[in-house]
Structure 1
Amino acid sequence: MEAAWCCFSDHVGFRGTIKNSASDFVVTEIDTCGRLVSDIGVDCVQDTCTINHQQLKSQPTPSKRLKKWEKPSENDSEQTSIDKSEDSTAAGSIVSQTTDCGLSESALNSSPIEMKGSTLELLLGSSLATLLEQFAISAKESQPTKGEDEATLSLGTFQEKSQRAAVHLAVRQRFPFLKTITSSTEIQVRLDPHYSELCQLVSEEEADGLFRFLDSKDRSSKFSFQPDGDKEHRKAVHHFVSRYFGKLLETKSFSEQASRSQGDAVITVRFRDKISSGRKRTDECQAPYTAFTLCKVNMETLDAVACLASELGVVPSDFSYAGIKDKKAVTSQTMVVKNVTINKLKAIQSSIQNKDLKIYNLRAASQHLRVGQLKGNHFSIIIRNVSKHLEDDPEASLTERVFDAIENVKEKGFVNYYGPQRFGLGQNVQADQIGLALLKQNLVKALHLFFTPEEGNDPVNKAKRHFIHTEDAKTTLALMPEYKTRERLVLRALNRYGNGQEGCTRAWLSLPHYMRILYIHSYCSKIWNEAVSFRLKTYDMNVVEGDLVICDKLDLDVSSRNSQQVHVVTAKDVESNTYSIDRVVLPMPGNSIQYPCNKLTLWYQDALVRDGLEACRFRIPALQLNVPGCYRPLLAWPQQLVYRWLEGEEVLCAKENSGFATGESKLPPETGDALSLSFSLNSSSYATVCLREIMKCNI
């Protein structure tokens, strides 16, 4: 990990130490509503577990080249695909209001289905509605070939969500072949490539009908294509709907009674039924869920869960959470526990405080939490013993060094490496080594790596050392402390099924899925870090042909493996400087992702061959593991960055958001200072990596 690190900014940096104590590193989770979980009140009306996952938006808004049909706008940010489930739904609850965009009261009170030609004039004005009509005709008649720039028309900015929802729905109902996209508060339209592809299979009338049916979101209705006697053609239509709308729609073929002799059949489309939970029994669906905020000090998340489970008399798998937090820190995060009431949690509040745990904000929840169901994390960090690098100019000002470093990273961002805690900081065997053994399906070796002891003679290492020397699972289980949940689960399975291949398989399966996949992801993260360093050394900060970039979305769902989210940069893109470096993404290895089409392709292949994974399909059937892969942005940015000098308990110099105070403010001496930093990061971005870029040293 350390050898792979490449600098992004050109400032000098400074030295300092972090995590002198747990209180020097405070981490607070940001929920999907953008709230700090420590601020959630007990009387929350909205259940945080049911909010759709969205990422924090990056601060910078790179410049964008105006395309044909596009009107210049004061809001010059990257375009992002409209989330129809968000804005379109809002159209049904539009209220009368006067807007900056000139929306009339009658337009806002119109029902969504009625918003067609005349409503567009009310929403946009007659001149822009006419321009939209002309654009729609032109775009439909001159469909761009693959790789050619698509014509885009800007409809202006709309400050209210309800306004945007009304415009989106009106445009789509009037011109189903157009795609509406939103960039902050600006709405743009262009030809929908999915519509164009469908028109290669069916008539325009049928394509119009399907897209209007899709936008109506009327789950009680159905849509049918024309009778079709060609089985292969019907198969192609089925595949089209499944490929692009499979999570929302389902298709079935029914024989046409009037033409059964000719073998005609009709494809019927309907919305899929909503399923509240996958494989749960009916009685489990009624199980109570309770959400709470967990604050822990100097403790691993899994150990905290094991402690809570023991206190409550439940199993650790009854708990769910959005992510694992740092060990040497004070962390706050939302957790949800099944089959435990609020009163039962209240009963243990006092007893667990002696174990450096605190639970509060107790409230009812409707379901469990998913890993990644958060916007990000907020960090409050104290860097102690701040000083200049030894090789730095002795005449240089420490204050200027700190100011330049923080402002540089605040503006330019940092390389979005996975942090060392992803792999097991300071451990003899890191998580990526275990993940590599699992991918090779060498389960026995992976288990021995899992039990490799660290230095020291504490009870955990004594137990691990005993197992490595004797392979006696029963005695090792007696030696292993109760709070080591993972180790004890594995040892119980080995004691029951033996130490052979079957026993090792059962042992790994005894761990919850998210624990098993964690080791695989650690290996893939290591490959991603190395790939980023190779890319930066090979191409620097230039966007080159073959790079993968974010398509229509300003924010990329890092858990997504959908190749339609990314675009392969062409020579024409490079020549016209269409994309900037902040939009470049690199893939995490997996079986369902697209690799870059430049020197990185060979690099990924060589890296997998080096590790003996040339034949790996990133599936381990014996352990029920599938690794599809995903895309991760090359760069990340700290947000809401605040920094100030500290001396003991007293703030000497503070200037929030814009730097240090000037004029009469007292500046710190050149050595022995403490610096306070606070900022937020997107989920899956690491504060230690951000600090390393700021300070330009290993921390």
Structure 2
Amino acid sequence: KVGSMVDCKNKISEHREELSSTLCVVMKKQTEHLNAINQLSAAIKCRPSDIGLAGIKDMQAITYQYCTLRHVAPNRVLNASNQLRRNNMDIKVVRGVDWVLNRGELEGNRFEILVQDLHQLELRDKQMKESEPNLSIEIRRRPCHKSFLEECVSRVQRGGFVNFYGEQRVGNAGDSADIGVRSFDIGRAMLQKKWTEAVNLIMIGRSLTGKGGEFVEGPERRLVRSTWKESGGDPIKALKVFPRDANSMPRERAVLQGLKRYKDPLAALQCLQFSVRTFW
């Protein structure tokens, strides 16, 4: 009997080693990707690098995605659920697994999209005056009937659609003096190993004004960026004026804290998760 109990314990131990990760489903709402990782890390009390996610979900949506938690027992996940609910997040345990999710390991996304105020557009050639013989296009709006909408959906099912990258991925078109820093500007500096330039571009951010002259960012964020610029890139002075909200400007905060601690731009950039750095 003693031998059987020892064998049983050994098998349980081996099974625990095999199932070294916990597979979960994470729900988030109005939460930026890096903030979500930080909140998971704090609630579950694990390292951000132990959280495996296959991709980045949109902030302006209610999203669900699988994640793996390396060397995290299911009971720790259950204990963290209440804390996450207070921050527009939740997590549910699926099962133990012997693998971890890495960036790009996904089969695709499924969306439920609510579209409102639909109209059918009717295009007609409009004859100009005799002095202007060229034709122009007249656009008229008509009520959108169910049959027309079903035909549009069927056309997408048959032929697919172009998957556009939004401005949040590549930045606005135009001169950099007008629109500010674009994502690929930061990525290019990293590939060229210009670490100081990459940090500076992250802190400069987008243009202060949009196309209509309105501010793109709020006053608290603008204060951080202007302080960074006016102080000649002093991380201590910039951190002092950071917004009180811990979820605000998470990338900039992590880089500045790394720069303050290590005094090295490369080490500061390495304070960001690998998946975050590759996003640029």
Per the TM alignment, residue 397 of structure 1 is displaced from its structure 2 partner at its CA by 5.6
Matches within 5 A, 1:244-255: none
Instruction: Give the whole-Å Cα distance in 2 for the aligned partners of 1:335 and 1:368.
Output: 8
The counterpart of 2:113, out of the listed 368, 375, 381, is 381
Per the TM alignment, residue 510 of structure 1 is displaced from its structure 2 partner at its CA by 2.8
Instruction: Give the whole-Å Cα distance in 1 for the aligned partners of 2:195 and 2:113.
Output: 40
Determine the structure 1 residue equivalent to 2:197: 445
1:412 aligns with 2:159: yes
Per the TM alignment, residue 478 of structure 1 is displaced from its structure 2 partner at its CA by 4.5
The counterpart of 1:489, out of the listed 254, 270, 275, is 254
CA contact (8 A) 1:294 1:333 kept: yes
The counterpart of 2:91, out of the listed 341, 351, 359, is 359
Matches within 5 A, 1:104-115: none
CA contact (8 A) 1:473 1:494 kept: yes
Q: Which amino acid aligns with 1:442?
A: K
Per the TM alignment, residue 449 of structure 1 is displaced from its structure 2 partner at its CA by 1.7
The counterpart of 1:469, out of the listed 230, 251, 261, is 230
SS at match of 1:378: coil
| Change over 3 Å in CA distance of 1:424–1:365 after alignment to 2 | farther
| Change over 3 Å in CA distance of 1:319–1:328 after alignment to 2 | same
Q: Which amino acid aligns with 1:376?
A: G
Provide Cα deviations, 1:182-208, integer angstroms capped at 9, x if missing partner: xxxxxxxxxxxxxxxxxxxxxxxxxxx
1:436 aligns with 2:188: yes
Determine the structure 1 residue equivalent to 2:144: 398
Q: Which amino acid aligns with 2:199?
A: L
Larger Rg: 1
Per the TM alignment, residue 352 of structure 1 is displaced from its structure 2 partner at its CA by 1.7
Instruction: Give the whole-Å Cα distance in 1 for the aligned partners of 2:168 and 2:121.
Output: 25
| Change over 3 Å in CA distance of 1:323–1:466 after alignment to 2 | same
Matches within 5 A, 1:515-530: 515-519=276-280
CA contact (8 A) 2:120 2:141 kept: no
Instruction: Give the whole-Å Cα distance in 2 for the aligned partners of 1:395 and 1:445.
Output: 50
CA contact (8 A) 2:22 2:93 kept: no
Instruction: Give the whole-Å Cα distance in 1 for the aligned partners of 2:96 and 2:171.
Output: 35
Q: Which amino acid aligns with 1:493?
A: G
Instruction: Give the whole-Å Cα distance in 1 for the aligned partners of 2:268 and 2:122.
Output: 50
| Change over 3 Å in CA distance of 1:401–1:286 after alignment to 2 | closer
CA contact (8 A) 2:121 2:140 kept: no
Instruction: Give the whole-Å Cα distance in 2 for the aligned partners of 1:363 and 1:411.
Output: 37
**TM-score under structure 1 length normalisation:** 0.30
Provide Cα deviations, 1:152-206, integer angstroms capped at 9, x if missing partner: xxxxxxxxxxxxxxxxxxxxxxxxxxxxxxxxxxxxxxxxxxxxxxxxxxxxxxx
Provide Cα deviations, 1:246-278, integer angstroms capped at 9, x if missing partner: xxxxxxxxxxxxxxxxxxxxxxxxxxxxxxxxx
Per the TM alignment, residue 401 of structure 1 is displaced from its structure 2 partner at its CA by 4.7
Matches within 5 A, 1:117-516: 288-389=20-121, 394=140, 398-399=144-145, 401-423=148-170, 428-453=180-205, 454-458=216-220, 460-470=221-231, 471-480=233-242, 481-483=245-247, 484-498=249-263, 503-516=264-277
Provide Cα deviations, 1:24-64, integer angstroms capped at 9, x if missing partner: xxxxxxxxxxxxxxxxxxxxxxxxxxxxxxxxxxxxxxxxx
CA contact (8 A) 1:455 1:461 kept: yes
Instruction: Give the whole-Å Cα distance in 1 for the aligned partners of 2:88 and 2:254.
Output: 24
RMSD: 2.9
CA contact (8 A) 2:122 2:142 kept: no
Instruction: Give the whole-Å Cα distance in 1 for the aligned partners of 2:45 and 2:106.
Output: 28
SS at match of 1:305: helix
Q: Which amino acid aligns with 2:256?
A: L
Provide Cα deviations, 1:463-506, integer angstroms capped at 9, x if missing partner: 333223212212333544533543333113311343xxxx2222
Instruction: Give the whole-Å Cα distance in 2 for the aligned partners of 1:396 and 1:482.
Output: 48
CA contact (8 A) 1:299 1:327 kept: yes
| Change over 3 Å in CA distance of 1:491–1:434 after alignment to 2 | same
Instruction: Give the whole-Å Cα distance in 1 for the aligned partners of 2:77 and 2:191.
Output: 40
Provide Cα deviations, 1:583-634, integer angstroms capped at 9, x if missing partner: xxxxxxxxxxxxxxxxxxxxxxxxxxxxxxxxxxxxxxxxxxxxxxxxxxxx
Matches within 5 A, 1:626-641: none
Instruction: Give the whole-Å Cα distance in 1 for the aligned partners of 2:81 and 2:229.
Output: 39
Per the TM alignment, residue 294 of structure 1 is displaced from its structure 2 partner at its CA by 0.4
CA contact (8 A) 1:303 1:485 kept: yes
CA contact (8 A) 1:444 1:504 kept: yes
SS at match of 2:26: strand
**TM-score under structure 2 length normalisation:** 0.70
Per the TM alignment, residue 328 of structure 1 is displaced from its structure 2 partner at its CA by 0.1
Per the TM alignment, residue 385 of structure 1 is displaced from its structure 2 partner at its CA by 1.2
Instruction: Give the whole-Å Cα distance in 1 for the aligned partners of 2:59 and 2:107.
Output: 20
Instruction: Give the whole-Å Cα distance in 1 for the aligned partners of 2:47 and 2:141.
Output: 60
| Change over 3 Å in CA distance of 1:479–1:348 after alignment to 2 | farther
CA contact (8 A) 1:287 1:338 kept: no
| Change over 3 Å in CA distance of 1:401–1:506 after alignment to 2 | same
Instruction: Give the whole-Å Cα distance in 2 for the aligned partners of 1:512 and 1:374.
Output: 19
Consecutive unaligned residues in structure 2, runs of 5 or more: 1-16, 124-137, 174-178, 206-215
Provide Cα deviations, 1:647-668, integer angstroms capped at 9, x if missing partner: xxxxxxxxxxxxxxxxxxxxxx
Q: Which amino acid aligns with 2:260?
A: N
Q: Which has the higher contact order (CA 8 A, sep 6+)?
A: 1
| Change over 3 Å in CA distance of 1:510–1:350 after alignment to 2 | closer
